[in-house]
């Protein structure tokens, strides 16, 4: 039997690398993707675990970067069974003070590249009558996100987009699943300039391996979404359905406001 084929973007570390391990442990052939050289270290780590894996460095925040990935996927000459669209970046801070270039890059990576990539791969999944897509969104997608305004909006877009195409594909054997973690112990906060926030504190954070396991299991089961990983995050996901937007905004502010780690 030929190994099923999966692509994981943003797989050099954190949730993406842990997702790659989940796919590998379930006997998928892997194409892992990132914009950094760390992707080749991830490849070595995964190969040592006995997985069949190729690594690709490409900047998915650019049109050419996504097209290059699509060509690489086609070069495998086999159906794409699953893809984890996990690549993303955050920008923290008050919107009047953050860098526009960083936020345009965020939109290009978190939003534009996801739409572009799905536009290329979904027609083939539809034609073959099978396929699974996992979007790494965020619990931030269901609330206003002060001090992460553009990031939260990008994840809200992803969640809405995923829910819409899930409905469109319901009769074609293709499932779309949304992974919605809370704060997770990855390099996210360091890269987003949010190391002095309450959300960056270890006691507030989820385990990326457990987030990935729950996301993978939800994907394989064809579920619509999973709040992951901790019980606290799951309870927050439920509670946020009933809170007014103003209260949600204040909740997020307490987690993301610069200096909140010391309050």
5-262: what fold? Rossmann fold (3.40.50)
Summarised one tens digit per residue, pLDDT across range 137-165 is 998 888 888 999 999 999 999 999 999 99
Phi/psi for 218 (5° steps) reads -65, -40
| CB half-sphere exposure, 34, CA atoms < 13 A | 21
Residue from 113, 66, 79 nearest 3 by CA: 79
**Which residue's structure tokens are 């997020």?**
252
Is cis: bond before 94, omega within 30 of 0? Answer: no
Tell me the CA distances in angstroms from 213 to 16, 133, 140, 228, 243, one per residue in order: 11, 15, 20, 9, 29
- Whether the per-residue pLDDT at 107 is higher than 60: the answer is yes
Residue pair 97/187 in contact (Cβ under 8 Å)? The answer is no
The DSSP symbol for 109 reads I
Higher pLDDT, 251 or 121: 121
The answer for residues whose C-beta is within 8 angstroms of residue 56's C-beta and 6 or more apart is: 31, 32, 33, 39, 68, 69, 72
> Once rounded to an integer, what is the mean pLDDT over residues 96-122?
97
Summarised one tens digit per residue, pLDDT across range 183-227 is 776 676 677 777 777 777 766 677 889 999 999 999 999 999 988
What pairs with residue 34 in β-bridges? Answer: 57
- Whether the per-residue pLDDT at 72 is higher than 60: the answer is yes
Phi/psi for 186 (5° steps) reads -130, -170
The Cα 163–Cα 177 span in angstroms is 8
Q: What are the boundaries of each domain within the chain?
A: 5-262
The Cα 158–Cα 78 span in angstroms is 27
- Whether the per-residue pLDDT at 237 is higher than 70: the answer is no
pLDDT of 176: 98
| pLDDT level of residue 7 (50, 70, 90 thresholds) | very high
């Amino acid at each position: 039997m030929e190994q099923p084929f999966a692509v994981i973007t943003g797989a050099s570390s954190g949730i993406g690398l842990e997702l790659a391990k989940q796919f590998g442990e379930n006997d998928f052939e892997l194409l892992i993707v990132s914009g950094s050289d760390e992707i080749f270290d991830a490849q070595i780590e995964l190969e040592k675990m006995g997985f069949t894996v190729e690594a690709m460095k490409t900047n998915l925040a650019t049109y050419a970067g996504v097209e290059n990935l699509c060509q690489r996927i086609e070069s495998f000459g086999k159906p794409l069974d699953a893809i984890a669209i996990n690549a993303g970046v955050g920008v923290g801070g008050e919107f009047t003070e953050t860098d526009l270039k960083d936020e345009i890059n965020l939109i290009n990576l978190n939003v534009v590249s996801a739409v572009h990539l799905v536009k290329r791969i979904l027609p083939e999944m539809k034609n073959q009558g099978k396929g699974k897509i996992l979007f790494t969104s965020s619990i931030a997608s269901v609330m206003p996100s002060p001090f992460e305004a553009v990031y939260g909006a990008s994840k809200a877009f992803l969640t809405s987009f995923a829910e819409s195409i899930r409905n469109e594909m319901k009769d074609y054997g293709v499932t779309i699943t949304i992974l919605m973690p809370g704060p997770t112990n990855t390099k996210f906060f360091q890269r987003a300039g949010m190391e002095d926030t309450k959300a960056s504190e270890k006691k507030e954070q989820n385990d990326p391996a457990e987030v990935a396991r729950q996301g993978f299991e939800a994907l394989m089961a064809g579920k619509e979404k999973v709040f992951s990983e901790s019980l606290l995050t799951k309870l927050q996901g439920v509670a946020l359905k009933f809170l007014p937007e103003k209260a949600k905004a204040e909740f997020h502010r307490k987690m993301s406001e610069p200096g909140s780690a010391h309050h």
